[in-house]
Amino acid sequence: MFFKTALLTLSSLSIVTQVSAFAPSRTFLSKASNLKMSEEEPEKISLAPDETALVLIEYQNEFTTEGGGLHDAVKDCMEKTGTIENSKKVLDAAREKGVKVFHLPISFDEGHKEISEKPYGILAGVKEGKLFKSGEWGAEICDTMKPTDTDIVCKGKAGLCGFASTNLDFMLRQNGIKNVVLGGFLTNCCVESTMRSAYELGYTVYTMQDCCAATSTEGQDAAFEHTFGMFSIPTTSDDIVAAVSG
């Protein structure tokens, strides 16, 4: 039941990214046409490692690993984009070049009391499926992306946005971060929510298409083409590796 709830919710999210609630004018749409990355070449990126953070969202076994509660839902998209392989490549480069790495896992106590008694949408699926329970294998960050002593694991994520219930903004500012590079799960859910907040908080945001995954490749592609460019600079793992390598 929770898979159906989650997938139906995420399907509606992909529709929302394509249909504007405020019916924008033709002028706005014309000016926004450059947001579609498929239609023009991205500019070369250069990032100062000491001002840049790699923010890794929910690289947890529930998503990343066979046997995880949501692995089957994202498996096809992960395979198509090379999500884990590309993310590990960026993670290794970030550590080598001195980019600060922030992990953003989501977790819940027994009974998922952090979520409403009458949840709806994607969090209803999480609660019904008893997913991401603190202290259990499903909530652990996968072996490939395990934090090291030099990384920071942010605390408190029990919702979609990486900023709303966590210490992420405080930790970024404590470390003098100006640029935020995003990857993780789900592309059109937690990644997009975090992207929007980072944008409004004044960070320069980069979102890596090949380091994210959604429950469908259609949802992944729609987010990249129609949403990423509104709230971040859409990019790829290779571009970010080059950008921090100088």
CA 28 to chain centre: 27
Inter-CA distances, 155 with 105, 152, 162, 163, Å: 8, 9, 10, 10
Domain 48-115+132-245 has CATH 3.40.50.850: yes
Q: In what order do the strands lie in the sheet with 52-57?
A: 152-153, 100-104, 52-57, 179-185, 204-213, 233-235
Which stretches in the chain have pLDDT values below 50? 1-35, 37-39
Distance from C-alpha of 155 to C-alpha of 166, rounded to nearest angstrom: 6
Q: How many residues does the chain have?
A: 246
Angle between helices 83-97 and 237-245 (to 10 degrees): 10
| Spans of all domains in the chain | 48-115+132-245
Q: Contact at 8 Å (CB) between 226 and 17?
A: yes
Query: Residue 98 in contact with residue 112, Cβ under 8 Å?
Result: no
pLDDT for position 180? 98
pLDDT at 128 (0 to 100): 95
Note the Cα 33 to chain centre separation in Å. 24
Which residues, other chains included, contact 73 with Cβ-Cβ below 8 Å and sequence gap of 6+?
3, 6, 7, 215
CA 149/CA 50 separation, integer angstroms: 17
**pTM of the entire predicted model:** 0.84
